[in-house]
């Protein structure tokens, strides 16, 4: 038949929420044709008569969305800090907990003690919780080893996770997360080690896709971050930054200067920061889980991001200390209720803009011809329901690279 399109599978019977250009862009009663791992056609079911598929998959109503992209997580670490959470709620201060060997140092100690297999096993449990809610792409950072051997082991664990789970994983080196105990009186010495030894080895062994740092008064200064970013730049590695979470240091403007993929947190970002991000195409990654757990009051400048057309992503920030979040969908609700985002903005934040924050918008984050066939079928009437329902795991069917995985 003239004009036939051959494909491996055809999915139809639901409304398709494409998220093209960050909007719902719904195709009522749509269809998706998949060849190998890519979408080769998408449109209304009534226009699919020319498609010849080896397998037909009829969906029972509901909606189809792009697979979720969790663009900021710390899923690999040793131990947990639930006991510290309980201590804080019983009136013990963070400084007292730190003096007892708690805080980030307790996670560093547990992570250094953990073997590669132990790190993979514990992270797998956390990762599986995210995958069950429709995540098909996730970023995972190092940053709890804080010595060369342990940081490399964390990055190797991240690469191993990608081999055993049906998900695309982007690995980020966050060695400039905190000052190691051994460098307490010489934080610049740790920065030198990162720049001259660790990052070159990471690049040689292809253990990371990007480099991150924490620019904050309790972490590293803009000058120290600049050294890390210059080293990453020399190695051809893109950068990201934890910026303006607790104070205004101009970190997001610094990130923009280096054409960073994203600046993350951003509660204290100024209009100048937002303008710089807009000019560089740097994505604003908002992390309501940490905002919620830390009981913060200063919200990110969402109105300014809208005004300057800075894409806003949402992520779980899953980590043992400030955001032990295992549900990206819950973060969508928090983005709306705590930060004033709309449901459409929130869903774009966990799909297209999340992909942009990882440099992957050309291949995922929306349902379009040529992109990976990563999508999720939900038995829901409207996309806003994904944001509306609090808690509970909504039933869903996840398709990763054209294959149903759950």
Residue 391 marked in a binding site:
no
Q: Do residue 323 and residue 192 come from a single domain? A: yes
CATH number at residue 31: 2.30.40.10
Q: Is 144 annotated as a binding residue?
A: yes
Does one domain contain both 206 and 282? yes
Phi, then psi, of 388 in degrees rounded to 5 = -70, -45
Is 292 known to sit in a ligand binding site?
no
Q: Within this chain, do residues 262 and 292 fall inside the same structural domain, yes or no? A: yes
Q: Structural domain tally of the chain? A: 2
Q: Please tell me whether residues 88 and 23 are part of one structural domain.
A: no
Only one residue has tokens 């934040």, namely 349
Pair (73, 41) in one structural domain: no
Compute the mean pLDDT over every residue in the chain, rounded to the nearest whole number: 96
Residue 225 lies inside a defined structural domain of this protein:
yes
211 and 304: one domain?
A: yes
Is 309 a member of any domain? yes
Instruction: Consult the annotation and say whether 109 binds a ligand.
Output: no
| CB atoms closer than 10 angstroms to residue 20 | 16
Is 322 one of the annotated binding-site residues? yes
Query: 196: domain CATH number?
Result: 3.20.20.140
Among 383, 385, 314, smallest CA distance to 350 is for 314
On whether the CB atoms of residues 229 and 258 are closer than 8 A, the answer is: yes
Does residue 102 carry a pLDDT above 80? no
- The answer to whether residue 94 scores a pLDDT higher than 70 is no
Residues 267 and 376 reside in one and the same domain: no
360-372 mean pLDDT: 98
Say whether both 235 and 333 belong to one domain.
yes
Instruction: Please check whether residue 269 is in contact with residue 241, taking contact to mean a CB–CB distance below 8 angstroms.
Output: no
pTM of the complete model = 0.96
Percent of the chain with pLDDT over 70: 99
Question: Is 342 part of any known ligand binding site?
Answer: no
Average pLDDT over residues 277-287: 98
Asked if residue 362 belongs to a domain, the reply is no
Annotation-wise, does 72 bind a ligand? yes
Domain that holds residue 45: 5-66+367-404
Q: What is the pLDDT of residue 95?
A: 62
Residue 170, marked binder = no
221 and 81 co-located in one domain: yes
Annotation-wise, does 177 bind a ligand? yes
On whether both 257 and 316 belong to a single domain, the answer is yes
Same-domain check for residues 90 and 45: no
Is residue 144 a part of any domain in this protein? yes
The pLDDT, as a whole number, for residue 93 is: 76
Domain presence at residue 192: yes
Q: What pLDDT score does 1 carry?
A: 44
Weakest mean pLDDT among 67-76, 225-234, 296-305, 390-399: 390-399
At 129, phi and psi to the nearest 5?
Answer: -65, -40
**Is pLDDT at 406 greater than 90 in this prediction?**
no
Q: Identify whether the C-beta of residue 226 lies closer than 8 Å to the C-beta of residue 233.
A: no
Residues 305 and 399 in one domain: no
What confidence tens digit (pLDDT) does each residue in 324-348 have?
Answer: 999 999 999 999 999 999 999 999 9
Is residue 322 assigned to a domain? yes
The reported pLDDT for the residue numbered 252 is: 98
Has 273 been labeled as part of a binding site? no
pLDDT at 350 over 90: yes
User: How many Cα atoms are found within 13 Å in the side-chain-facing hemisphere of 121?
Assistant: 6
């Amino acid at each position: 038949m003239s004009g036939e399109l051959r494909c491996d599978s055809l999915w139809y019977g639901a409304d398709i929420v494409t998220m093209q250009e960050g909007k719902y862009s719904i195709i009522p009663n749509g269809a998706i044709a998949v060849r190998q791992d890519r979408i080769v056609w998408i449109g209304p079911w009534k226009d699919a008569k020319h498609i010849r598929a080896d397998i037909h998959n009829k969906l029972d109503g509901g909606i189809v969305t792009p697979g979720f992209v969790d663009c900021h997580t710390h899923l690999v670490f040793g131990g947990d800090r639930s006991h510290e959470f309980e201590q804080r709620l019983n009136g013990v201060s963070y400084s007292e907990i730190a003096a007892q060997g708690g805080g980030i140092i307790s996670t560093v100690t547990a992570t250094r003690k953990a073997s590669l297999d132990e790190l993979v096993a514990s992270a797998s449990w956390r990762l599986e919780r995210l995958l069950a809610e429709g995540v098909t792409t996730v970023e995972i950072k190092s940053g709890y080893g804080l010595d060369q051997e342990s940081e490399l082991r964390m990055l190797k664990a991240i690469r191993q996770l990608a081999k055993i789970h049906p998900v695309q994983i982007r690995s980020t080196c966050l060695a400039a997360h905190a000052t190691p105990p051994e460098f307490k009186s010489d934080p610049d010495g740790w920065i030198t080690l990162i720049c001259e030894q660790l990052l070159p080895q990471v690049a040689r062994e292809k253990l990371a896709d990007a480099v991150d740092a924490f620019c904050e008064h309790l972490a590293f200064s803009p000058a120290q971050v600049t050294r890390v970013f210059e080293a990453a730049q020399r190695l051809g590695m893109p950068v990201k930054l934890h910026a303006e979470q607790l104070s205004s240091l101009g970190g997001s403007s610094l990130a923009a200067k280096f054409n960073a993929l994203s600046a993350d947190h951003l509660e204290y970002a100024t209009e100048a920061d937002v303008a710089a991000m807009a000019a560089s195409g740097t994505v604003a990654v908002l992390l309501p889980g940490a905002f919620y757990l830390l009981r913060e009051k200063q919200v990110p400048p969402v109105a300014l991001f809208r005004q300057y057309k800075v894409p806003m992503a949402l992520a779980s920030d899953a980590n043992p200390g400030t955001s032990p979040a295992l549900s990206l969908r819950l973060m969508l609700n928090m983005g709306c209720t705590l930060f004033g985002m709309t449901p459409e903005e929130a869903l774009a934040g966990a799909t297209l803009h999340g992909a942009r924050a990882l440099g992957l918008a050309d291949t995922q984050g929306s349902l379009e011809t040529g992109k990976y066939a990563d999508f999720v079928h939900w038995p829901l009437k409207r996309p806003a329901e994904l944001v509306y329902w609090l808690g509970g795991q909504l039933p869903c069917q996840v398709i990763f690279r054209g294959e149903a995985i759950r």
